[in-house]
């Protein structure tokens, strides 16, 4: 029952999304240019647990190299070029984070994902995943070994 309400809350958040003024295709990179990391600083990086996600599946995003104990802004762009509202995520003491993404209500197709460090203005790499019509396991993915 708790899972149902979690899906419902996530779904409502996704429905309350905004659109960008000028849609871009999913393969274009229309976000702000990535600032260069200062010498000796790790560039913020995100990785995904999977790149091909079945309907009603889970995706986990992992971030590292961000400002410790600070907010980052996650960006998710749909296949039609419109963007969901930014999601604010708090990093841990090492500048890392984990974030679950439920694909149940996502549009099918390739989505773009990137994260901006609010403290430094640095932008991570772009990651891409494909939300498909495939049937597949619905369990949450586990963290990768770095």
Starting at the edge strand that comes first in sequence, how are the strands of the sheet with 45-48 ordered?
45-48, 58-64, 97-102
Q: Are 125 and 48 in contact (CB under 8 A)?
A: no
How far is it, in rounded angstroms, from Cα 44 to Cα 126? 11
List the chain pLDDT tens, one digit each, 146 residues.
Answer: 554 444 444 444 444 443 333 333 333 344 444 455 555 667 999 999 999 988 778 889 999 999 999 999 999 999 999 999 999 999 999 999 999 998 888 899 999 999 999 999 999 999 999 999 876 655 555 665 55
Sign of CA dihedral 13, 16, 21, 27: positive
Q: What's the rounded Cα separation, in Å, for the pair 134 and 54?
A: 5
Q: What are the tokens at 13?
A: 């958040």
Cα–Cα distance list, 120 to 12, 37, 76, 112, 124 (Å) = 31, 9, 20, 22, 11
Cβ(19)–Cβ(82) under 8 Å?
Answer: yes
Question: At the top level of CATH, which class does the domain 2-19+38-131 belong to?
Answer: mainly beta
CB 113 within 8 A of CB 129: yes
Q: What is the pLDDT of residue 14?
A: 43
């Amino acid at each position: 029952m708790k899972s149902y309400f979690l899906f419902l809350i996530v779904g409502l958040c996704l429905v309350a999304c905004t659109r960008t003024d000028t849609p871009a295709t999913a393969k274009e990179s229309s976000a702000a240019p990535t600032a260069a990391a200062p010498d000796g600083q790790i560039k913020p990086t995100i990785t995904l647990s999977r790149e091909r996600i079945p309907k009603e599946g889970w995706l986990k995003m992992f971030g590292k190299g961000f400002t410790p104990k600070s907010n980052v802004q996650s960006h998710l762009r749909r296949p039609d070029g419109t963007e969901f509202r930014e999601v604010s995520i708090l990093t841990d003491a090492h500048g890392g984070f984990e974030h679950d993404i439920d694909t149940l209500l996502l549009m099918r197709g390739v989505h773009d994902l990137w994260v901006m460090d609010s403290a430094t203005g640095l932008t991570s790499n772009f990651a891409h995943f494909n939300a498909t019509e495939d049937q597949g396991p619905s369990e949450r993915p586990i963290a990768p070994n770095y």
